[in-house]
Amino acid sequence: MRAYVYEPREKRRASLASELENAGLQPLFVGEEFFETGLAPLTQTGSEHRAILIGESANTHRQIRAVRHAGCENPLIILRDFRNSADTSAALDRGADDVIVSPIKGGEVLSRINSIVRRFHGHAAESISVGEVTAFFDGRDPIVSGTRIKLSKREHSIFQHLALNSNKVISKNAIYDAVYGMSADQPFDKVIDVYICKLRKKIASAAESGAQYIETIHGRGYKLSAPDTLELDPIPSLTTSGLRLEVRA
């Protein structure tokens, strides 16, 4: 998962970068100009899950307003040096999603980002079930028919984006931008088709039904959903004193 990070103090950047990277986050450090000219790409579909982390400075509240006035709905977390209830309240009122006080721990930052993202997509729990597939939003690989399937880093990023938008059609461009949007060397977008193919094979091989679960909607994109033909276990009949009682749904 990628994150834009504003930390004006150069001495703090190295330790913060190390902490975030160890938790699986990919920080991109930005300057003050980011809040004036760099926010537009974050208003595009597929970019709403990229977090913005703002370190301690005199301009924090102005930067929060700039982010929200630009129309960005991204997770916005303030990194403070010391606890200050009045300042925390002001930051939240201006549009911040959360405030974390030093020492900053990468694992906590990642968990808070995941929580904000899944709630943005309407998921209160840490996981969802789509037919035989259970998708997790905390970094764990999915479980299919009781078996956990191992996904590569790219496969996981694409799968999670589909899971967050389960039963909705997501364009290839949105998936591509979500996975590669901030990468310095962006591959040709045909790579998304390759990863989708790999995901389908892994899901189908683990699913008792053999279903692939990721549907191609021609001209529009992909959708993660349970197949219409998926049959649920029948409700058993009950027999008592020789009288057969059939339970109907």
| 76-102: pLDDT as tens digits | 999 999 999 999 999 999 999 999 999
The rounded percent of the chain whose pLDDT value lies above 70 is 87
For 32-47, write each residue's pLDDT tens digit.
999 999 998 888 776 7
CB-based contacts of 105, cutoff 8 Å, min separation 6: 19, 23
Whether 241 has a pLDDT exceeding 70, the answer reads: no
Helix (H) or strand (E) holding 86: helix 85-93
Distance CA 105, CA 33 (A): 27
User: Quick one: CA dihedral 184, 5, 125, 93, positive or negative?
Assistant: negative
The 8-class DSSP code of residue 150 comes to P
Whether 229 has a pLDDT exceeding 80, the answer reads: no
Summary mean pLDDT of the chain: 86
Strand partners, 54: 6, 78
* Residue whose token pair is 């996904």: 151
The token pair at 143 is 């479980």
What dihedral angle (degrees, nearest 10) is formed by the CA atoms of 129, 132, 133, 136? 40
- Residue 235 has what pLDDT? 38
Distance CA 75, CA 53 (A): 8
Distance CA 19, CA 63 (A): 23
Q: What is the mean pLDDT of residues 63-88?
A: 94
Where residue 121 falls (left for φ over 0; alpha for ψ -120 to 50; beta otherwise) is alpha
* Residue whose token pair is 């989708």: 196
